[in-house]
Structure 1
Amino acid sequence: MLDIINLSSIPVFLLIFVRVLAFFSTVPLFSYRTIPTPFKIGFSFFLALVMFYTVDSSDVLIDDMFLFLLVKEAIVGLLIGLLAYIILSAIQIAGGFIDFQMGFAIANVIDPQTGAQSPLTGQYLYIIALLFLLSVNGHHLLIDGIFYSYNLIPIESFIPFEDGTIADFVITTFNKMFVIAFQMAIPIVGCLFLVDVALGIIARAVPQLNVFVVGLPIKIFVSFVVILFFLSLYIVLAKSLFETMFDAMRGLMQLFGGA
């Protein structure tokens, strides 16, 4: 505790605390509204306290650039957590595709975790994905990510923005996110497309049948059956999504560190 009481070590601890707090304010699971803000601050404080003794701070200079180091630490924590959150939002996008075909596009619900509107199916799949992430100790991997980020992004260095590789990396990650969302939605959307084709054939063959009245319940029933059938495939895609999320976080840390 003598190092913490020493005034010369407080700026270094503040740098670590800013990165950890910024990371937990945007990363999935830890950034939700249902988690109290005092808990986030306290958890970040004690984690930064543990990390303070493991981070090499011998090259940190307390001079006029210290304020820019604080801003850099906040940007690093925010962007790493935000990238993970954006990739995980592929589940919500896939749910939006499914709901649009099911006829549930107008029936959005308020997500209590984020305070934003989300599709019904997307919220259902999102909860399953979060439970799956917790069951495989994915939250431990998130904490490990910010803990070992100092090996890739030294506390005393700045982010290199010369060649635009960071922007290219973010755009590529966005493309992967939309591809995974399409892969999650295509089994259900494809089956519903076939249902639409069948209803169109029935409407031409039996004009007396009102397909607009019959079609919506049929599409909802088929959607539930297909979702139940493809749930195991969805778990595999969710695993691929989490691997993409962790790889993207690692790649962004390497770019921030100049690797």
Structure 2
Amino acid sequence: MSFIAICPLFSQKGFPNLAKLVVGGSLVISAYPAITGYKEITNMLLLGEVAIKEVLFGLAMGYLSQLVFSGVMMAGQMIDFQVGFSMAQAYDTMTDVQSAQFSKLYYWLTVSAFFLLDLQNSMIYGVVNSFKIVPLGTENMGGASIDGVVQLFEKTVEMSVSLSAPMVVAVLVIDILLGVISRSIPQINILMMSLSVKTIVGIIIFLLALSSLLSFLGNNLSEGIENMLEFIKSVR
């Protein structure tokens, strides 16, 4: 249930709470046969400690599965800022954050690629299988696991920069050219011109890179699920 509270798609505010309970309850029922070799705990203090460990373990898995989506949103925000769409941010009821056009577009493209590649089943399988790999009460968040999480966060930032770089650089070049024009011909309203020019160029670059973008997202999503599975194995 802690994994459902933070994992992609299911954790969205627009996802009905009743559906979250149904999905979480289904995972509990599906995982029950995988739980073997556990011992009964009569000490309430020890039971609370084990429960807290399980909750933290679920949150860690959810955080790792969410990293690619967070990186995509970060890339969209950098593009929106450079193109000028950040001035037209609106409240997104699905993600519960303020976002502009490219942030939403990149996010829903990532969601589409996630389902097209059937990665939701791999993610759910990893959660259920975690009870076999890491029996109840035995997980140990050691230094290697924490270092791995930090490295995955670094890779997410690198992915977001790589994703946004082509469009950001192109729009930056346009800003430089418009600055030169503004100095040469002060009578031109560069502000109004820049908004339309950068929007058109941004859309053109997005359409040209769309096929490569979907391939890039698919590779990173698959790698994100594999990283979550590797994390589960690393805490045994």
Is TM more than 0.5 here?
A: yes
Q: Output the aligned Cα RMSD.
A: 1.7
Q: Helix, strand or coil for the counterpart of 1:175? A: helix
Looking at structure 2, the residues matched to 177 and 156 of structure 1 have their Cα atoms a distance apart, in angstroms, of 30
One-letter identity of the residue aligned with 2:114: L
| 1:113 paired residue among 94, 100, 106 | 94
Determine which of 49, 56, 61 is the counterpart of 1:68: 49
Q: Give the TM-score of the pair, scaled to structure 1.
A: 0.84
SS in 2 for 1:148: helix
1:60 and 1:156, CA in 2 relative to 1: closer, same or farther beyond 3 A? farther
Out of 173, 185, 201, which is 1:194 matched to?
173
Match of 1:131 in 2: 112
Percent identity between the aligned chains? 24
* 1:106–1:198 distance in 2 versus 1, CA, 3 Å: same
Q: CA deviation at 1:45?
A: 1.7
Matched, 1:155 2:136: yes
| Residues in 2 aligned to 1:42 and 1:197: alpha-carbon distance in whole angstroms | 54
8 Å contact kept, 2:68–2:220: yes
Aligned residue among 208, 217, 221 for 1:242: 221
Higher relative contact order (CA 8 A, sep 6+): 2
* Contact 2:2/2:55 (8 A) holds in 1: yes
Q: Distance in 2 between matches of 1:37 and 1:211?
A: 48
The alpha carbon displacement at 1:186 in A equals 0.7
Q: Mean Cα displacement is larger for which, 237-246 or 123-132?
A: 237-246
Task: Deviation per CA, 1:74-123: give whole Å up to 9, x if none.
Answer: 11111110222233211111011101111111221222223111232111
Q: In the alignment, is the contact (CA less than 8 A) between 2:38 and 2:135 conserved in 1?
A: no
Unaligned residue ranges in structure 2 (runs of 5+): none
Aligned-partner Cα distance in 2 for 1:186–1:38? 40
Normalization by structure 2: what TM-score? Answer: 0.91
Q: Aligned AA for 1:223?
A: G
Amino acid at match of 1:175: E
State the partner residue of 1:100: 81
CA drift of 1:154 comes to 1.4
Structure-2 separation of matches of 1:32 and 1:230: 28
Q: Tell me, in whole angstroms, the C-alpha distance in 1 between the residues paired with 2:41 and 2:13.
A: 35
Residue-by-residue CA offset, 1:140-161 (whole Å, 9 max, x unaligned): 1111110111232111414243
**Equivalent residue, structure 2, for 1:255:** 234
**Shift in alpha-carbon separation, 1:47–1:84, aligned structure 2, 3 A:** closer
Aligned to 2:221, what secondary structure does the other structure show?
A: helix
Matched AA of 1:84: S
Structure 2 counterpart of 1:122, from 96, 100, 103? 103
- Indicate the SS of the match to 2:73: helix
Q: Which residue of 1 aligns with 2:26?
A: 46
| Residue ranges of structure 1 left out of the alignment (5+ in a row) | 1-20
Do the aligned partners of residues 209 and 143 (structure 1) sit closer, same or farther apart at CA in structure 2, a change above 3 Å counting?
Answer: same
CA contact (8 A) 1:88 1:245 kept: no
Give the corresponding residue for 1:227: 206
Corresponding position of 1:8: none
**Alignment deviations for residues 120-143 of structure 1 (CA, whole Å, 9 cap, x no partner):** 211111011101111221111111
Cα distance in 1 between the residues matched to 2:184 and 2:139: 69
Paired positions, count: 234
8 Å CA contact 1:87, 1:245 repeated in 2: yes
In 2: Cα distance, 1:59 partner to 1:119 partner:
49
Q: Distance in 1 between matches of 2:192 and 2:68?
A: 38
* Contact kept? 2:68, 2:156, Cα under 8 Å: yes
- Give the counterpart of 1:143 among 124, 134, 142: 124
Partner residue, 2:153: 174
**SS of structure 2 residue aligned to 1:23:** coil
Instruction: Provide the residue aligned with 1:35 in structure 2.
Output: 15
